[in-house]
Amino acid sequence: MTTSSAPGKVYLFGEHAVVYGEPAVPCAIERRARVTVERREDERLRVRANDLTLDGFTVTWGGSGTDPRPDVDVPTPLVEAAMGYIDGAIEQALDAAGEDGIGFDITVESDIPLGAGLGSSAAVVVAGIDAAARELGVELDAGTIADRAYRVEYDVQDGQASRADTFCSAMGGAVRVQGDDCQRIEDVPTLPFVIGYDGNTGDTGKLVAGVRELKEAYGFAADTVESIGDIVRSGEIALDDGDVEEIGRLMNFNHGLLSALGVSARSLDTMVWAAREADALGAKLTGSGGGGCIVALDRTEQTHTALEYTPGCEDAFRAELDTEGVRRER
Amino acid sequence: MTTSSAPGKVYLFGEHAVVYGEPAVPCAIERRARVTVERREDERLRVRANDLTLDGFTVTWGGSGTDPRPDVDVPTPLVEAAMGYIDGAIEQALDAAGEDGIGFDITVESDIPLGAGLGSSAAVVVAGIDAAARELGVELDAGTIADRAYRVEYDVQDGQASRADTFCSAMGGAVRVQGDDCQRIEDVPTLPFVIGYDGNTGDTGKLVAGVRELKEAYGFAADTVESIGDIVRSGEIALDDGDVEEIGRLMNFNHGLLSALGVSARSLDTMVWAAREADALGAKLTGSGGGGCIVALDRTEQTHTALEYTPGCEDAFRAELDTEGVRRER
Question: What are the tens digits of pLDDT across the range A142-161?
Answer: 999 999 999 999 998 887 77
Chain B CB contacts of A262 under 8 Å are: 252-253, 256
Do A123 and A327 touch, CB atoms closer than 8 A?
no
Determine the pLDDT at residue A53. Answer: 46
Chain B: give the shortest CA distance to residue A319, in Å: 25
Closest chain A residue to B256, measured at CA: A260
Chain A CB contacts of B270 under 8 Å are: 266, 269-270
3-state helix, strand, coil in chain B (%, to 5): 40, 25, 35
Decide if A310 touches B, using CB distance below 8 A.
no
What's the residue count for chain B? Answer: 330
Residue B330's pLDDT band (boundaries 50, 70, 90)?
confident
Determine the pLDDT at residue B30. Answer: 97
Q: Which among A219, A221, A257 is the nearest to B260, CB-wise?
A: A257
Chain B: give the shortest CA distance to residue A255, in Å: 7
Note the pLDDT tens digit of each residue in A122-138.
999 999 999 999 999 99
The mean per-residue pLDDT over the stretch A224-241 comes to: 98
Residue among B224, B252, B272 with most chain A CBs within 10 A, to mutate: B224
Q: Which among A220, A260, A266 is the nearest to B260, CB-wise?
A: A260
The residue type of B59 is V
Q: Which among B252, B259, B270 is the nearest to A262, CB-wise?
A: B252
Closest chain B residue to A269, measured at CA: B269
What percent of chain B is modeled with pLDDT above 90?
Answer: 81
Determine the pLDDT at residue B54. Answer: 44
The mean per-residue pLDDT over the stretch A12-34 comes to: 97
What percent of chain A is modeled with pLDDT above 70?
Answer: 90
Name the A residues in 245-284 with CB < 8 Å from any B CB: 252-262, 264, 266, 269-270, 273, 276-277
What percent of chain B is modeled with pLDDT above 70?
Answer: 90
The mean per-residue pLDDT over the stretch A244-256 comes to: 98
Write a three-state SS string for chain A: CEEEEEEEEEEEECCCHHHHCCCEEEEEEEEEEEEEEEECCCCCEEEEECCCCCCCEEEEECCCCCCCCCCCCCCHHHHHHHHHHHHHHHHHHHHHHCCCCCCEEEEEEECCCCCCCCCHHHHHHHHHHHHHHHHCCCCCCHHHHHHHHHHHHHHHCCCCCCHHHHHHHHHCCEEEEECCEEEEECCCCCCCEEEEECCCCCCHHHHHHHHHHHHHHCHHHHHHHHHHHHHHHHHHHHHHHCCHHHHHHHHHHHHHHHHHCCCCCHHHHHHHHHHHHCCCCEEEEECCCCCCEEEEECCCCHHHHHHHCCCCCCEEEECCECCCCCEEEC
Do B127 and B4 touch, CB atoms closer than 8 A?
yes
Between chains, do B234 and A256 touch, taking CB under 8 Å as contact?
no
- How far is B216 from B231, CA to CA, in rounded Å? 21
Note the pLDDT tens digit of each residue in A156-180.
888 777 899 999 999 999 999 999 9
Q: Mean pLDDT score of chain B, rounded to an integer?
A: 92
Residue B76's pLDDT band (boundaries 50, 70, 90)?
low
Chain A: give the shortest CA distance to residue B77, in Å: 29
Closest chain A residue to B222, measured at CA: A227
pLDDT-wise least confident of A41-55, A168-182, A232-246, B301-315: A41-55
Q: Mean pLDDT score of chain A, rounded to an integer?
A: 92
pLDDT-wise least confident of A190-194, B7-11, B116-120, B217-221: B116-120
Between chains, do A261 and B256 touch, taking CB under 8 Å as contact?
yes
Chain B CB contacts of A255 under 8 Å are: 259-260
Question: Which residue numbers of B are catalytic?
Answer: 165
Between chains, do B259 and A255 touch, taking CB under 8 Å as contact?
yes
pLDDT-wise least confident of A49-53, A80-84, B219-223, B266-270: A49-53
Chain A CB contacts of B282 under 8 Å are: none
Closest chain A residue to B264, measured at CA: A256
Closest chain B residue to A277, measured at CA: B266
Chain A CB contacts of B276 under 8 Å are: 266
Between chains, do A253 and B214 touch, taking CB under 8 Å as contact?
yes
Chain A: give the shortest CA distance to residue B270, in Å: 7
Note the pLDDT tens digit of each residue in B27-69.
999 999 999 999 999 999 988 876 554 445 566 666 554 555 5
- How far is B88 from B75, CA to CA, in rounded Å? 20
A77: CB partners within 8 A, 6+ apart: none
- Residue B245, pLDDT > 80, answer yes
Chain A CB contacts of B262 under 8 Å are: 252-253, 256
Q: Which among A256, A266, A269 is the nearest to B260, CB-wise?
A: A256
Which residues of B contribute to the annotated binding site? 113-123
Determine the pLDDT at residue A54. Answer: 44
Chain B: give the shortest CA distance to residue A118, in Å: 24
The mean per-residue pLDDT over the stretch B208-223 comes to: 97
- How far is A276 from A192, CA to CA, in rounded Å? 14
Between chains, do A259 and B260 touch, taking CB under 8 Å as contact?
yes
Catalytic-labelled residue, pool A87, A130, A147, A165: A165
Q: Strand B45-49 relative to strand A327-329: parallel, antiparallel, unpaired?
A: unpaired
Residue A83's pLDDT band (boundaries 50, 70, 90)?
confident
Note the pLDDT tens digit of each residue in B120-179.
999 999 999 999 999 999 999 999 999 999 999 999 888 777 899 999 999 999 999 999
Between chains, do B260 and A262 touch, taking CB under 8 Å as contact?
no
Whole-Å CA distances, A205 to A42, A188, A292:
39, 32, 14
Burial of B186 (0-12, 13-18, 19+ CB in 10 A): exposed
Between chains, do B255 and A259 touch, taking CB under 8 Å as contact?
yes
Decide if B219 touches A, using CB distance below 8 A.
yes
Which residues of B contribute to the annotated binding site for ATP? 113-123
Closest chain B residue to A263, measured at CA: B256
The mean per-residue pLDDT over the stretch B288-308 comes to: 95
Do A53 and A108 touch, CB atoms closer than 8 A?
no
Decide if B29 touches A, using CB distance below 8 A.
no
Closest chain B residue to A260, measured at CA: B256
Enumerate domains of chain A plus CATH numbers. Answer: 2-185 (3.30.230.10), 193-318 (3.30.70.890)
Determine the pLDDT at residue B53. Answer: 46
- Residue B230, pLDDT > 70, answer yes
Chain A CB contacts of B14 under 8 Å are: none
Chain A CB contacts of B219 under 8 Å are: 230
Q: Strand A2-13 relative to strand A25-39: parallel, antiparallel, unpaired?
A: antiparallel
Note the pLDDT tens digit of each residue in A181-205.
999 999 999 999 999 999 999 899 9
Note the pLDDT tens digit of each residue in B86-105.
999 999 999 999 999 999 99
Interface pTM (ipTM) of the complex? 0.90
Burial of B177 (0-12, 13-18, 19+ CB in 10 A): buried
